[in-house]
């Protein structure tokens, strides 16, 4: 997309990025981070180059207290990011000097503090049940107290946008008090309902009141958090708060993985630096893994499908001009373009896919793949969504065969125990090079047990496996087009911490389909981790005569 000819008048040259994944973002459903997880997320955010990392609310819960204690004890070595502690102002009618929240904030030991305070008249009188004068004094006193202890202070103006619509006078007074007391105001759309034209007007008015830094913090309840953040910057806001991957309670916070590239690549505003932009997709995926939420493939900029083009009318245009159907260069944000192949794909699409993978295919091999795709998709495979298996299929057409391991047999047994719990045990016999290995592992289901057994078998030869994890497992029962009864399609998503891939298995037997997807996942992971293959180390006959290695007695622990 061509750069804008006319720059918005109030557009700043540089915007500070303030990440609140560890505080606001961790309000998301399904989030449960230990202090150690929080330290690892903070390391990734620092690697990405965000300017501020809000670590949590010290004193509000023990984990956040532990996080700040461990961070200040040297367990968190930040390169450029500044750590921020979050809390509220002193209580109504109280004193900052004796307020427990103020004490917790000092105890956290950060140079930067973010306070939340109500900036809407209705919230002051109705939910806080105090006067607007006292509400402003609470802000001024708290900021003065923290500054007297050497802290740099941000003030989150809670309900600013709703309050501004209701009565702009009090929010304006609020901003004046924040600035006069020496803090930076951050305008918050706490309920997340603001629309871009409302955000634009309110930020424009706020910009007239505030001469220094001005921040914004949008929730995504109306689906406009990113748009509102961009509009706010166009109106002169130069500090944007949000979360990596848009995490947050309800519908989430402004997604920084979209805000950052939109500001940098489209508005030409300096954020985390061009060279760091290429870390966006890897860091977004890494953090998704730490917080244990499957990455959204359709997420703008960083999703696995963000630059995927379905083979067809676009394919020949993309072959001629790679940027023809992309809004930005995918490499700029650490992502990559890919062609999605399906049974509808012709030779030109297969050729493009091969080129993307760095494979040289002969005409015969190309025809082979097109035919094989049609045949497999007819049996229920769906390679559009299984890039990992597709790559292996294409490699096989060139005569390549994986030699990390060869399955001799596997067996999966599920027991129902007297207390009503199920336990699954998998036994696997594989050949790894010239070694025949038998392993047994328990799991909370057949895939988990098979995965655990395979890892035990391969682990000693392939330490790279410890970085590879399965992140999602999906099963779908399909009516067979051939009328031979239903077949099961299994999709497994995996990651090595930065790259994600999907593999597929199809069979009338769910265990068989799962095994197919699982073994493809492990092979793909090992291949891309640069693991050594065991080509030619031993033939099947020689290995089959060897002794059985491994004790077969180990289990991975009950209930896992």
Q: Write out the residues near Zn ion by the rule CB under 5 A.
A: 24
Contact 263, 15 (CB under 8 A): yes
Contact 186, 155 (CB under 8 A): yes
> Which residue number places its CB atom closest to Zn ion?
24
Q: How far is the CB of 158 from Zn ion (least distance, A)?
A: 8
> In this complex, which beta carbon is closest to Zn ion, that of residue 239 or of residue 489?
239
**CA-CA distance, 371 to 192, in Å (whole number)?**
51
> In this complex, which beta carbon is closest to Zn ion, that of residue 118 or of residue 499?
118
> In this complex, which beta carbon is closest to Zn ion, that of residue 218 or of residue 515?
218
Strands (E), 126-279: 152-158, 184-189, 214-218, 239-242
Contact 55, 110 (CB under 8 A): yes
How many C-beta neighbours within 10 Å does residue 354 have? 21
Q: How far is the CB of 343 from Zn ion (least distance, A)?
A: 46
Secondary structure class of 377 (helix, strand, coil): helix
> In this complex, which beta carbon is closest to Zn ion, that of residue 254 or of residue 352?
254
Q: How far is the CB of 33 from Zn ion (least distance, A)?
A: 17
**CA-CA distance, 543 to 431, in Å (whole number)?**
7
Contact 450, 428 (CB under 8 A): yes
**CA-CA distance, 432 to 448, in Å (whole number)?**
21
> In this complex, which beta carbon is closest to Zn ion, that of residue 38 or of residue 395?
38
Please tell me what DSSP assigns to residue 298: T
CA dihedral 429, 433, 434, 436 (to 10 degrees): -10
Tokens representing 285 are 């995926």
Q: How far is the CB of 249 from Zn ion (least distance, A)?
A: 8
Secondary structure class of 375 (helix, strand, coil): helix
Q: How far is the CB of 390 from Zn ion (least distance, A)?
A: 40
Q: How far is the CB of 219 from Zn ion (least distance, A)?
A: 6
Backbone angles phi, psi at 164, to 5 degrees: -70, -40
> In this complex, which beta carbon is closest to Zn ion, that of residue 18 or of residue 404?
18
> In this complex, which beta carbon is closest to Zn ion, that of residue 156 or of residue 238?
156
Q: How far is the CB of 246 from Zn ion (least distance, A)?
A: 12
């Amino acid at each position: 997309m061509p750069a804008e000819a006319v720059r918005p008048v109030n557009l700043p040259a540089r915007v500070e990025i303030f990440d609140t994944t560890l505080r606001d973002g961790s309000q998301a459903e399904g989030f449960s981070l230990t202090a150690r997880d929080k330290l690892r997320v903070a390391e990734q955010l620092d690697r990405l180059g965000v300017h501020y990392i809000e670590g949590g609310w010290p004193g509000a819960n023990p984990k956040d207290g532990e996080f700040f204690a461990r961070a200040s004890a040297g367990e968190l070595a930040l390169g450029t990011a500044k750590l921020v502690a979050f809390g509220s102002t002193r209580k109504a009618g109280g004193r900052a000097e004796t307020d427990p929240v103020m004490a917790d904030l000092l105890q956290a030991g950060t140079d930067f503090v973010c306070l939340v305070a109500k900036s809407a008249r209705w919230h002051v009188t109705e939910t806080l049940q105090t006067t607007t004068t006292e509400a402003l004094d609470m802000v001024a006193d708290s900021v003065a107290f923290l500054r007297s202890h050497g802290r740099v202070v941000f003030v989150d103006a809670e309900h600013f946008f709703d309050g501004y619509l209701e009565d702009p006078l009090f929010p304006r007074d609020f901003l004046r008090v924040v600035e006069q007391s020496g803090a930076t105001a951050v305008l918050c759309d706490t309920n997340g309902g603001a629309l871009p034209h409302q955000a634009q007007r309110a930020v424009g008015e706020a910009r007239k009141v505030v001469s220094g830094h001005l921040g914004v913090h949008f929730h995504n309840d109306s689906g406009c958090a990113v748009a509102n953040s961009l509009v706010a910057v166009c109106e002169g806001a130069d500090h944007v708060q949000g979360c990596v991957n848009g995490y947050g309670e309800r519908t989430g916070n402004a997604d920084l993985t979209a805000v950052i590239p939109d500001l940098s690549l489209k508005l030409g505003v300096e954020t985390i630096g061009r060279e760091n932009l290429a870390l966006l997709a890897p860091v977004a995926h890494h953090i998704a893994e730490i917080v244990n939420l499957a990455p959204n493939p359709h997420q703008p900029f960083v999703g696995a499908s963000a630059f995927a083009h379905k083979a067809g009318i676009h394919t020949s245009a993309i072959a001629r001009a790679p940027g023809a159907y992309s809004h930005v260069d995918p490499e700029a944000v650490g992502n990559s373009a890919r062609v999605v192949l399906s049974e509808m794909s012709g030779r030109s699409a297969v050729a493009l896919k091969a080129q993307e993978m760095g494979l040289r295919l002969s005409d015969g091999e190309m025809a082979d793949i097109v035919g094989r795709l049609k045949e497999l998709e007819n049996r229920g495979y769906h390679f559009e969504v299984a890039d990992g298996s597709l790559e292996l299929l294409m490699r096989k057409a060139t005569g390549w065969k994986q030699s990390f391991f060869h399955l001799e047999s596997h067996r999966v047994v599920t027991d129902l125990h007297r207390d009503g719990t199920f336990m699954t045990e998998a036994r696997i016999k594989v050949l790894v090079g010239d070694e025949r290995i038998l392993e047994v592992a328990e799991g909370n289901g057949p895939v988990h047990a098979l995965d655990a057994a395979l890892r035990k078998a391969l682990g000693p030869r392939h330490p790279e496996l410890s970085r590879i994890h399965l992140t999602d497992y999906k099963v779908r029962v399909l009516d067979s087009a051939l009328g031979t009864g239903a077949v099961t399609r299994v999709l497994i998503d995996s990651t090595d911490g930065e790259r994600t891939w999907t593999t597929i298995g199809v069979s009338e037997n769910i265990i068989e389909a799962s095994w197919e997807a699982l073994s493809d996942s492990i092979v793909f992971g090992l291949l891309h981790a640069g693991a050594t293959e065991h080509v030619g180390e031993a033939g099947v006959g020689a290995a089959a005569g060897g002794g059985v290695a491994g004790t077969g007695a180990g289990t991975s622990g009950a209930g896992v």
